């Protein structure tokens, strides 16, 4: 007498259900965990839900100011009586009105994808990042930062592939650790000539604004604008626009930032 359970018996249905749950868990558990992590991060940092928006105000400040040169780049600031200070990899300009600007040495900035101006790079670096984060995010250093700032928790779903969900969570974690840990900034994008720029923060709402531009060779130019706490004047978008719109490389750059140098007024 055959004692084996029939195909439609409760025992067989039970094991079919267990096997199906196992397959579903193997296929979707990692993505579901990434989705849960993203939602938990969103509750702790509302800034993660922000995406890039275009910068509308492109008008530069036309107040009489001065020309400055840092690390081989010349630009104008709408400030008089500017004091220049510098260390090896950082140049600082401090105005009498309490506003200041810091530029990090572009040659010293460490890029995720390396320096695109150098032909000799390890061939697997970009491939490794592309495998983890996706090809669109790793076309250039600018594209990588743009994807970081545009990634939100809502973009992570249990129905994504494992690689895509994990890649987006990685971008979200970078955004959380570097760009969302100092309050709730605004993210802007704009372009000027061969410069692709991203702005973190909004003048008037914050005393600190970071502008990161990438030139045609994908080299990073990182500016940090700030206003002293006791300054009576609020940092404006037009001041920032004046600096970025007049920025250009000089033919005979100095080795480092000027210290106590004279400035040309205009």
Q: What is the pLDDT of residue 2?
A: 54
- In tens, the pLDDT along 10-57 reads 655 554 555 554 444 444 578 888 998 999 999 999 999 999 999 999
- What one-character DSSP code corresponds to residue 157? -
Q: 266 vs 172, which has greater pLDDT? A: 172
Q: What is the pLDDT of residue 263?
A: 53
- Whole-angstrom CA distances from 27 to 34, 130, 131, 161, 196 are 13, 22, 19, 8, 39
Burial code (b: 16+ CB inside 10 Å, e: under 16) for 225-257 equals bbbeeeeeeebbbbbbbbbbbbbeeeeeeeebb
Q: What is the pLDDT of residue 248?
A: 93
Q: pLDDT-derived band of residue 257, with 50, 70 and 90 as boundaries?
A: low
**C-alpha closest to that of 69 among 82, 56, 55:** 82
Q: What is the pLDDT of residue 254?
A: 53
**C-alpha closest to that of 215 among 195, 190, 197:** 195
Q: 74 vs 109, which has greater pLDDT? A: 74
Q: What is the pLDDT of residue 10?
A: 61
Whether 235 contacts 221, CB under 8 Å: no
For the segment 253-258, the average pLDDT, to the nearest whole number, is 54
Query: Considering the chain, what percentage of its residues have pLDDT values greater than 70?
Result: 78
Q: 228 vs 246, which has greater pLDDT? A: 246
What's the mean pLDDT when you consider all of the chain? 82
Domain ranges of the chain: 1-266
Q: Is 207 helix (H, G, I), strand (E, B) or coil?
A: coil
Q: What is the pLDDT of residue 162?
A: 86
Whether 265 contacts 66, CB under 8 Å: yes
For the record, the structure tokens of 115 come out as: 């320096």
pLDDT at 261 over 50: no
Q: Mention every residue, 6+ apart, whose C-beta is less than 8 A from residue 73.
A: 103, 106, 221, 247, 248, 249, 250, 253
Whether 79 contacts 96, CB under 8 Å: yes
Burial code (b: 16+ CB inside 10 Å, e: under 16) for 189-205 equals bbeeeebbbbbbbebee
Q: Is 23 exposed, middle or buried (0-12, 13-18, 19+ CB in 10 A)?
A: exposed
Q: What is the pLDDT of residue 11?
A: 55
- Report how far residue 162's alpha carbon sits from residue 16's, in angstroms, rounded to the nearest whole number: 24
């Amino acid at each position: 007498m055959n004692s084996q359970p029939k195909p439609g018996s409760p025992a067989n249905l039970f094991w079919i259900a267990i096997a199906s749950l196992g397959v579903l868990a193997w296929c979707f558990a990692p993505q579901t965990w990434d989705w849960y992590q993203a939602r938990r991060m969103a509750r702790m940092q509302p800034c993660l839900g922000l995406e890039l928006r275009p910068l509308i105000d492109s008008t530069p400040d036309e107040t009489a100011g001065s020309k400055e040169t840092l690390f081989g780049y010349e630009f104008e600031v709408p400030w008089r009586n500017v004091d220049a200070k510098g260390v090896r990899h950082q140049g600082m300009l401090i105005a009498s009105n309490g506003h200041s600007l810091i530029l990090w040495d572009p040659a010293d900035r460490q890029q995720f994808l390396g320096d695109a101006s150098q032909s000799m790079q390890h061939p697997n670096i970009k491939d490794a990042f592309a495998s983890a984060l996706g090809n669109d995010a790793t076309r250039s250093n600018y594209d990588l930062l743009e994807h970081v700032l545009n990634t939100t928790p809502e973009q992570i779903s249990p129905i994504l592939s494992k690689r895509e969900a994990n890649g987006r969570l990685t971008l979200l974690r970078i955004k959380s650790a570097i760009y969302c840990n100092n309050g709730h900034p605004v993210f802007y994008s704009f372009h000027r000539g061969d410069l692709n720029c991203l702005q973190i923060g909004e003048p008037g709402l914050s005393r600190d604004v970071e502008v990161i531009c990438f030139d045609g060779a994908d080299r990073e130019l990182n500016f940090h604008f700030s206003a002293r706490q006791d300054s009576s004047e609020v940092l404006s978008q037009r001041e920032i626009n004046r600096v970025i719109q007049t920025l250009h490389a000089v033919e005979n750059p100095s080795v480092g930032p000027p210290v106590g140098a004279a400035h040309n007024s205009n």
